[in-house]
Amino acid sequence: MSKRHGDGVSVGHDAFLDIVANLVGILIILVVVLGAQSHAVIQQVQQSPVESTDPNLRAAGDKDMQGLALMAAHAASAQSDSIRLERTVKVLDAKIDQQSERRTVMLTLLEQAEAAWQEEQSKLDDQRRAASQRDAEVSALKDKIADLSGTREQLQNQSPKVIAVSHLPTPMAKTVFGEELYLRLKENRVSVIPFEALADEIERDFHRTASGGREGVSDAAVGPVRGYVARYVMNRENQLVPQGNKIARMTRARVMIASFEPLQEPHGVPIEQVLANDDWLDVELSGFPTGTTTVTVAVYPDSYGAFRKLKEKIYAKGYPTAARPISAGSPVYVNFAGGGSKSVAQ
């Protein structure tokens, strides 16, 4: 049994060695064959010229080699020139940077010099303007002195003129008891205050509200009439009055005061239009007789100058006038508690 086992192992080992030897032999044969073929190809290439399938290709000769050498020399020279130019460019860039820095410094100095020059120039300009202004003032004063001297000589050589001062007759003032036309003069505008119409409205409203309501003071407003409204204050109080042998309680109501003012400002006709044309004044004065009518003008401080001209205009039409100065910002008041107020005409 053991002998057979040993024989089997020996037979398998010999077969493996045979296979390896065969493979090595095949490889050696292949190397020899390839070497022989390569040597033959090299000899063939060396012995015969290279054939190319491209008809334009040909073998390089001496002339071509000289051309290639010349081109190589040109290339080397161009490369040397390129290197030299690069070095020159670097040097020029350095100089440009240096000049740029110097230029920046010079520009800075120039700006400072210009600023200093402008400052000095402005000082000189101010001095020149001041001198020119003084010269102009001196010239104006000289002209004024010359004019005053001429005027003085003219006044000394001429006789004084007689100046006629126009004035309105000023009779003794008296209380008005006839009809009155009420005008308001404010902001140099003239308007008619409809006293009579608004008084009638106050009376109707008073009778309508006097019977009822609580005791005390109350206010109400009526209008508008011709752009004016009237605001009045009414006082209602209870009083004890004798009735035969008894004492009865009676409610008494009365209007204390009323104010008259337009709905909006400015209101009225400009004084220039009234003075230039008589139409407006003639229409308002129509229906009022000259002998028994007084024109009362409520005048505000801003229209005192226009009042005299209006007074002359009204006086020329034959009507006496009365003035009621009114404080700025105040309406026209009428005090009913004291029995009203009468104008003083001239």
| 187 shares a domain with 125 | no
In a domain, 63, yes or no: no
| Average of per-residue pLDDT across 290-316 | 89
| 251 shares a domain with 329 | yes
Location of structure tokens 């006709």: 269
Measured CA to CA in angstroms, residue 316 lies from 120, 277, 282, 289, 309 at distances of 72, 14, 12, 14, 11
Which pLDDT value is given to residue 88?
Answer: 81
| 336 shares a domain with 211 | yes
| 182 shares a domain with 123 | no
| 248 shares a domain with 182 | yes
User: Which residue type, as a one-letter code, is found at position 25?
Assistant: G
In a domain, 268, yes or no: yes
Token readout for 82 is: 């390129």
| 328 shares a domain with 268 | yes
In a domain, 158, yes or no: no
For the stretch 310-341, pLDDT in tens is: 988 888 888 888 888 998 888 888 876 544 44
- Total domains present in the chain: 2
Band (249; pLDDT cuts 50, 70, 90): low
Structure pTM? 0.45
Instruction: List, as one string, the DSSP characters of 125-176.
Output: HHHHHHHHHHHHHHHHHHHHHHHHHHHHHHHHHSPPPPPPPP----PPPEE-
CB neighbour burial string for 38-69, b if at least 16 within 10 angstroms, e if fewer: eeeeeeeeeeeeeeeeeeeeeeeeeeeeeeee
Question: How far apart are alpha carbons 151 and 145 in whole angstroms?
Answer: 10
| 327 shares a domain with 209 | yes
C-beta of residue 250 within 8 angstroms of C-beta of residue 241: yes
Measured CA to CA in angstroms, residue 246 lies from 36, 185, 238, 252, 292 at distances of 175, 54, 16, 18, 48
* Strongest mean pLDDT among 3-17, 142-156, 246-260: 142-156
| 260 shares a domain with 318 | yes
| 249 shares a domain with 112 | no
Location of structure tokens 């190319």: 52
Token readout for 312 is: 């002359």
For the stretch 160-179, pLDDT in tens is: 555 444 545 544 344 455 68
Domain boundary among 92, 114, 129: 129
* Strongest mean pLDDT among 46-50, 199-203, 205-209, 217-221: 199-203
Domain that holds residue 117: 83-129
| 335 shares a domain with 210 | yes
For the stretch 5-60, pLDDT in tens is: 444 444 555 666 677 777 777 878 877 777 776 666 666 656 655 555 556 666 66
Tell whether the model's pLDDT for residue 346 goes beyond 70. no
